[in-house]
Structure 1
Amino acid sequence: MTFREANKADIKQIQVVRNSVTENTLSNPELVTDADCLEFITKRGKGWVCEIDNQIVGFSIVDLKENNIWALFVHPNHDKQGIGRQLHDLMLNWYFNKTSKNVWLGTAPNTRAEIFYRKSGWKKVGTHGKGEIKFEMTFENWKNKSTASNNV
């Protein structure tokens, strides 16, 4: 299992992972284009991937422009292996090294993603879009969580 920064050559496999998930699915996969992915990993923020046997099985992308988690997905065949956690932590460590502004995300209610974010220290701050839960992570909460896990 290898974790590294995402690049342009990864976009096709990122799209495969994004369209393989069974929760937080896209109503229309064509709404998230390869050009969108490229912009988010090269201009607006940064992305990371997890590879197993040269296949991308998970990815995360954070947007510095809108202070938003744009994506965090793991292929269903690779659930519950800690991939999402590592991608999440890589992304937030990088983000909070760049800025101390709060970061937010939206996710569907009553999903494993909702549980994951609550357990990860995200706080519900309202709703977003069409019924999604809006979560927020502050610099202080992340710093305290990171410090606590380093002291274990």
Structure 2
Amino acid sequence: MQIRPATPADVPAIFHIRTSVTENQLTTAELAEMGITPASITAMILASPCAWVADKDGQVVGFSMIDPDTGSLFAAFVLPVHEGQGIGRKLVKAAEDALFANHPVAWLETGKATRAAGFYRHLGWSNERQADAGDIRLEKRRP
């Protein structure tokens, strides 16, 4: 398995993964309502290094994305059949490395009572604060 920068050719796989997850599941229509479309993700990827994919035997099985301007981890998702294999940890590490190159503190928001929250806490994200609608904000400092 290889973690590599995402390219525009990976955008269909990114959307497949994002709409296939079991927690925090959203449809392509719901993502579009939030402004998250294949065109917007392609534009982000072309604008700056902001996304990474996990390529396993030629198949993209996970991805992570950041907002390099705000210092946030925007997304990290793995296909359910590939969970528990350390892929998410490696994707988050790639995102953190990019964030910490330009920010002393990175942040993310996730549901308070989700598996994702536990996952991020396990990876050292802390300083929990309440965010919108049951979400929490977690931070991680540059090592």
Provide TM-score, normalisation by structure 2: 0.88
Residues 62, 78 of structure 2: 8 Å contact kept: yes
Question: Higher helix fraction: Structure 1 or Structure 2?
Answer: 1
Q: Which amino acid aligns with 1:118?
A: R
Please state if 1:113 is matched with 2:108.
no
Please state if 1:16 is matched with 2:19.
no
**1:128–1:36 distance in 2 versus 1, CA, 3 Å:** farther
Deviations 1:82-111 (A, max 9, x none): 0000111111112212x1332111111222
Hey, what's the Cα distance between the residues in 1 that align with 2:8 and 2:17? Answer: 15
Hey, what's the Cα distance between the residues in 2 that align with 1:12 and 1:106? Answer: 24
Q: Which amino acid aligns with 1:36?
A: S
Hey, what's the Cα distance between the residues in 1 that align with 2:40 and 2:130? Answer: 24
Hey, what's the Cα distance between the residues in 1 that align with 2:119 and 2:53? Answer: 18
**Structure-2 residue corresponding to 1:3:** 3
**Structure-2 residue corresponding to 1:30:** 32
**What are structure 2's unaligned runs of at least 5 residues?**
none
Range with bigger deviation, 75-84 or 27-36:
27-36
Hey, what's the Cα distance between the residues in 2 that align with 1:92 and 1:82? Answer: 15
**What are structure 1's unaligned runs of at least 5 residues?**
144-152
Pairing of 1:132-143 with structure 2 (within 5 A):
132-139=135-142, 143=143
What is the RMSD of the two structures over their aligned residues, measured on CA atoms? 1.6
Hey, what's the Cα distance between the residues in 2 that align with 1:72 and 1:83? Answer: 10
Deviation at residue 10 of structure 1 after TM alignment:
0.4
